[in-house]
Amino acid sequence: AASELDIDLKWEGTVTETEIAEQTKIIENMINLGVDAIALAPLNNQAQRKPVQSAVDNGIPVVIFDSGVDGDAHSSFIATDNVLGGSLGADFMNDNLATKSQLVVFRYVQGTASTAKRSDGFIDTAKIAGHDIVADPFSESGTLEGSKSVVANTLERFIKNGKLDIEGIFAANLTTTLGVSSALDDLRDSGILVDLTFVGFDSSKKLVEELQAGKIDALIVQSPEKMGYLAVKTAVAVSKGESVDALIDTGVEVVTSDRLKNEPAIRALMGLK
């Protein structure tokens, strides 16, 4: 988008998704630089409310993308409909399970609006369908190791007579999905029978391989490239005083191994030829 619009794009980000204070410093630095607009993917919906308001108070419009922020100072919010994404995950699981199944939801770290909405969307839809949510822990950190630790400790409670005694798992983002996948592999390697429906969120090369191998039943996939593209274009439009939509939905897909094999558009979305 920056090349298309011939603009000077300055990109800065944190090393991990839990460095909230560092992201605040980055926003403050952009304000001090006097940039024309800011496109921000907030790490925490509450913590970044004041920095966003500060930017707007200094005459710098802010466009939010990927994950939401509290307040209404921003000009536009560009993201997946995360509640819908979670709900679609529950619909898929419901199609593959009997009613009154026991399900576990692995949330991401507290304060991340996008993953909270995914988890809540899944839980609400699953409960309406008659399923029991027997656990829905948060990750202790934004790392794979932290997520896997929570997954392993949680699943240990449901191992009975050499079998993992739950029927389904939903993981709310890339890190938690990878954590679940790795923990389930460890259980299988230790001789525990794992027979369940596993729905993850987001995609990576590793997760595509797991999907193709049948270890993951479905991935709820958004379009980060489209999100970033529209965030930059919208930020530029706002900086020029143009009107923009307050909410821009970038779409979500339920990707299965069959769709991955048979639909070119899905293969392209997943980065495959």
C-alpha separations of 11 from 22, 43, 61 in Å:
14, 15, 16
Which pLDDT value is given to residue 16?
A: 84
* Distance separating alpha carbons of residues 83 and 25, to the nearest angstrom: 30
The whole-model pTM stands at 0.85
Is 2-80+223-242 in CATH node 3.30.2130.10?
A: no
Task: Decide if pLDDT at 220 tops 80.
Answer: yes
How many CB atoms are located within 10 Å of the residue 110 CB?
Answer: 10
Q: What single-letter amino acid sits at 131?
A: H
Per the CB < 8 A criterion, the answer to whether 200 and 217 are in contact is no
* Distance separating alpha carbons of residues 243 and 234, to the nearest angstrom: 9
Please report, for the chain, the start and end positions of each structural domain, with discontinuous segments joined by +. 2-80+223-242, 82-221+258-266
* Distance separating alpha carbons of residues 74 and 248, to the nearest angstrom: 13
Q: Which residues contact 118 (CB under 8 A, 6 or more apart)?
A: 82, 83, 85, 86, 89, 172, 173, 201, 220
pLDDT in tens, 117-139: 999 999 999 999 999 999 999 99
CATH topology for 82-221+258-266 is: Rossmann fold (3.40.50)
- Name the pLDDT band for 272 (thresholds 50, 70, 90): confident
